[in-house]
Amino acid sequence: MRTAPLRRDAQVLGQVRIADGPLGRALGLVGRKASTLDQALLLVPCAAIHTFGMRFAIDVVFLDREGVIVAARAHVAPWRWARGKGAYATLEWAAGAIGRYGFEVGQRLQWGGS
Protein backbone atom coordinates (compact mmCIF):
# COMPACT_ATOMS: atom_id res chain seq x y z
CA MET A 1 0.00 0.00 0.00
CA ARG A 2 1.21 3.48 -0.77
CA THR A 3 0.24 6.82 0.78
CA ALA A 4 -0.51 10.19 -0.77
CA PRO A 5 -1.84 13.58 0.35
CA LEU A 6 -5.60 14.05 0.01
CA ARG A 7 -6.74 17.48 -1.18
CA ARG A 8 -9.90 19.45 -1.85
CA ASP A 9 -9.06 22.47 -3.97
CA ALA A 10 -5.67 23.58 -2.62
CA GLN A 11 -6.36 22.46 0.96
CA VAL A 12 -4.56 19.32 2.18
CA LEU A 13 -7.01 17.31 4.28
CA GLY A 14 -4.58 14.62 5.44
CA GLN A 15 -2.92 11.45 4.26
CA VAL A 16 -4.64 8.69 2.38
CA ARG A 17 -3.45 5.08 2.17
CA ILE A 18 -4.30 3.63 -1.21
CA ALA A 19 -5.51 0.02 -1.33
CA ASP A 20 -5.64 -0.89 -5.00
CA GLY A 21 -4.81 -4.59 -4.73
CA PRO A 22 -7.29 -7.37 -3.98
CA LEU A 23 -5.97 -8.15 -0.49
CA GLY A 24 -5.81 -4.53 0.65
CA ARG A 25 -9.34 -3.87 -0.61
CA ALA A 26 -10.70 -7.05 0.95
CA LEU A 27 -9.24 -6.29 4.38
CA GLY A 28 -9.81 -2.54 4.41
CA LEU A 29 -9.86 -1.39 8.03
CA VAL A 30 -10.94 -4.79 9.45
CA GLY A 31 -8.87 -5.72 12.49
CA ARG A 32 -7.35 -2.25 12.87
CA LYS A 33 -7.69 0.22 15.70
CA ALA A 34 -9.85 3.26 15.06
CA SER A 35 -8.29 5.63 12.56
CA THR A 36 -7.85 9.37 13.05
CA LEU A 37 -9.52 12.24 11.23
CA ASP A 38 -6.32 13.04 9.32
CA GLN A 39 -5.92 9.52 7.87
CA ALA A 40 -8.14 7.80 5.32
CA LEU A 41 -8.12 4.57 3.38
CA LEU A 42 -8.88 4.78 -0.35
CA LEU A 43 -10.20 1.57 -1.89
CA VAL A 44 -9.83 1.48 -5.71
CA PRO A 45 -11.90 0.16 -7.43
CA CYS A 46 -14.71 -0.08 -4.90
CA ALA A 47 -18.40 0.84 -5.00
CA ALA A 48 -19.53 -0.90 -1.79
CA ILE A 49 -18.03 -1.55 1.65
CA HIS A 50 -18.82 -3.57 4.74
CA THR A 51 -17.91 -3.12 8.38
CA PHE A 52 -18.19 -6.79 9.35
CA GLY A 53 -15.56 -7.60 11.96
CA MET A 54 -14.81 -3.94 12.72
CA ARG A 55 -14.88 -2.53 16.24
CA PHE A 56 -15.68 1.10 15.43
CA ALA A 57 -17.91 3.20 13.19
CA ILE A 58 -16.54 4.94 10.09
CA ASP A 59 -17.55 7.67 7.67
CA VAL A 60 -17.59 6.59 4.04
CA VAL A 61 -17.25 8.82 0.97
CA PHE A 62 -17.94 7.33 -2.46
CA LEU A 63 -16.19 8.86 -5.49
CA ASP A 64 -16.59 8.55 -9.25
CA ARG A 65 -13.63 8.12 -11.64
CA GLU A 66 -12.96 11.87 -11.57
CA GLY A 67 -12.81 12.05 -7.76
CA VAL A 68 -16.24 13.69 -7.45
CA ILE A 69 -18.25 12.69 -4.38
CA VAL A 70 -21.35 10.75 -5.50
CA ALA A 71 -22.50 9.68 -2.01
CA ALA A 72 -21.46 10.01 1.63
CA ARG A 73 -22.51 7.92 4.61
CA ALA A 74 -21.76 9.20 8.11
CA HIS A 75 -21.18 6.94 11.10
CA VAL A 76 -21.52 3.51 9.46
CA ALA A 77 -21.64 1.21 12.50
CA PRO A 78 -19.86 -2.15 12.77
CA TRP A 79 -21.59 -5.08 11.07
CA ARG A 80 -23.21 -2.96 8.36
CA TRP A 81 -22.67 -2.33 4.65
CA ALA A 82 -22.99 0.70 2.38
CA ARG A 83 -22.73 1.40 -1.31
CA GLY A 84 -22.55 4.40 -3.56
CA LYS A 85 -24.40 4.29 -6.87
CA GLY A 86 -22.00 5.28 -9.64
CA ALA A 87 -18.95 5.01 -7.36
CA TYR A 88 -15.53 3.91 -8.60
CA ALA A 89 -13.56 4.45 -5.39
CA THR A 90 -14.35 4.65 -1.69
CA LEU A 91 -12.74 6.62 1.14
CA GLU A 92 -13.04 5.21 4.66
CA TRP A 93 -12.45 7.71 7.47
CA ALA A 94 -12.86 7.88 11.22
CA ALA A 95 -16.45 8.69 12.19
CA GLY A 96 -16.86 12.47 12.22
CA ALA A 97 -14.78 13.19 9.10
CA ILE A 98 -17.77 14.07 6.90
CA GLY A 99 -18.87 16.76 9.34
CA ARG A 100 -15.37 18.00 10.08
CA TYR A 101 -14.43 18.48 6.44
CA GLY A 102 -17.91 19.40 5.19
CA PHE A 103 -17.94 16.73 2.48
CA GLU A 104 -20.91 17.07 0.13
CA VAL A 105 -22.06 15.35 -3.03
CA GLY A 106 -20.54 17.13 -6.03
CA GLN A 107 -17.23 18.15 -4.41
CA ARG A 108 -14.04 16.94 -6.08
CA LEU A 109 -11.21 15.37 -4.08
CA GLN A 110 -7.69 14.65 -5.32
CA TRP A 111 -4.95 12.34 -4.07
CA GLY A 112 -1.34 11.93 -5.09
CA GLY A 113 -0.61 13.42 -8.48
CA SER A 114 -4.21 13.32 -9.73
Q: Which amino acid type is present at position 51?
A: T
pLDDT tens track for 68-104: 999 999 999 999 999 999 999 999 988 999 999 999 9
14 phi/psi in degrees, rounded to 5: 150, -165
Report the pLDDT value the prediction gives residue 56, as an integer from 0 to 100: 86
Distance CA 95, CA 86 (A): 23
Report yes or no on whether pTM surpasses 0.85.
no
Under a CB-based contact definition with an 8 Å cutoff, are residues 46 and 89 in contact? yes
Distance CA 74, CA 108 (A): 18
Distance CA 48, CA 81 (A): 7
pLDDT tens track for 24-61: 555 555 555 656 566 788 999 999 998 888 888 999 99
User: Would you give the distance in Å from CA 109 to the centre of its chain?
Assistant: 11
Tell me the CATH class for 2-111: mainly beta
Q: Which amino acid type is present at position 50?
A: H
pLDDT at 1 > cutoff 90: no
